[in-house]
Amino acid sequence: MNLEDALTELRALAEPGRAEQMAAYHKQKRDVIGIPNPDINDLTKTWRQTLTVEERVSLASELWATDIFEGRLAASKLLTQARLRPDEDAWTLIQSWVPDFDSWAIADHACMAGQKRLVADPSRLDQVEGWTTSDHMWTRRAALVITLPWTKQNHPKPHELQARDRVLGWAASYVDDHDWFIQKAVAWWIRDLSRHDAARSQAFLDEFGARLKPFARKEAARHLSN
């Protein structure tokens, strides 16, 4: 499938009046087609079933380069798959997108694709760690969003606990950054972790909670008993 055909299929899913609503909600200045997210899911699922990994990576790169809102969502969804072999080119492409992040919706979809590649090869956390000191807020935020799988294990193995503690260290380095999106990302990580490892979440809040903004502290503690 070439880019022109892919865009034709995307535009065929547009709903009248939806583009303006989505542009306002997502605060987008880029082109927005106006497609419901489930429809993009269905279309990209079909593409994943019919394209090779190499073709998916190529199309994802071209869709991202269009800078169309749904084009970037579709690019991310093309690579959101646990089993993707080989996956080095996909991981390299996802990393190349991070400096372009300027929207939570696009960033979160790309990070969901990245989560699969990190779980497939946790050594890639070494590369993500470099994001934590970036001057680009969205890159710093992505380091937490892309590592959310490490909040979810109920019975983590030793290497998973090590990774969990590593990311908690990154979160601790963010607590004095009062950008709303950074504070929200810290709260998100600690909140999700609390469902599976309440002790670590509580310990984090005991040590660092006072330095979080009140809304983030409240969000992080939502599922804790105190």
Instruction: Give DSSP secondary structure letters for 84-125.
Output: -SS-HHHHHHHHHHGGG---HHHHHHHHHHHHHHHHH-GGGH
User: Using an 8 Å Cβ cutoff, are 73 and 106 in contact?
Assistant: yes
Together in a domain, 87 and 66: yes
What is the pLDDT at residue 129? 98
Together in a domain, 131 and 70: no
> Which of 69, 88, 111 lies at the terminal end of a domain, its last residue?
111
In the DSSP assignment, the letter for residue 177 is -
User: Using an 8 Å Cβ cutoff, are 115 and 149 in contact?
Assistant: yes
Amino acid at 121: D
Evaluate whether residue 210 is within a structural domain: yes
CATH number at 202 reads 1.25.40.290
CA 138 to chain centroid, in Å, comes to: 10
Mean pLDDT of 146-158: 96
Together in a domain, 132 and 220: yes
Kindly report, residue by residue over 88-113, the tens digit of the pLDDT.
Answer: 999 999 999 999 999 999 999 999 99
Evaluate whether residue 135 is within a structural domain: yes
Residues 6 or more apart whose CB falls under 8 angstroms from that of 137 comprise: 179, 181, 182
Together in a domain, 14 and 74: yes
> Which of 63, 85, 111 lies at the terminal end of a domain, its last residue?
111
Mean pLDDT of 132-158: 97
Together in a domain, 101 and 137: no
pLDDT at 23 over 70: yes
Kindly report, residue by residue over 56-80, the tens digit of the pLDDT.
Answer: 999 999 999 999 999 999 999 999 9
Q: Tell me how far apart the alpha carbons of residues 195 and 192 are, in angstroms, rounded to a whole number.
A: 6
In the DSSP assignment, the letter for residue 85 is S
Residues 6 or more apart whose CB falls under 8 angstroms from that of 121 comprise: 87, 91
**Confidence grade of residue 9 (pLDDT, cut at 50, 70, 90):** very high
What is the pLDDT at residue 125? 98
pLDDT at 226 over 80: no
pLDDT at 153 over 90: yes
Domain that holds residue 154: 121-226
User: Using an 8 Å Cβ cutoff, are 97 and 64 in contact?
Assistant: yes
Mean pLDDT of 17-42: 95
Evaluate whether residue 129 is within a structural domain: yes
176 CB-contact burial (10 Å; exposed 0-12 / middle 13-18 / buried 19+): exposed
Nearest Cα neighbor of 134 from 110, 98, 97 is 98
Domain count, the chain: 2
Nearest Cα neighbor of 104 from 44, 200, 188 is 188
What is the pLDDT at residue 225? 77
**Confidence grade of residue 82 (pLDDT, cut at 50, 70, 90):** confident
Mean pLDDT of 116-129: 97
pLDDT at 169 over 70: yes
Together in a domain, 125 and 210: yes
Mean pLDDT of 120-143: 98
Looking up tokens 């303006």, which residue turns up? 20
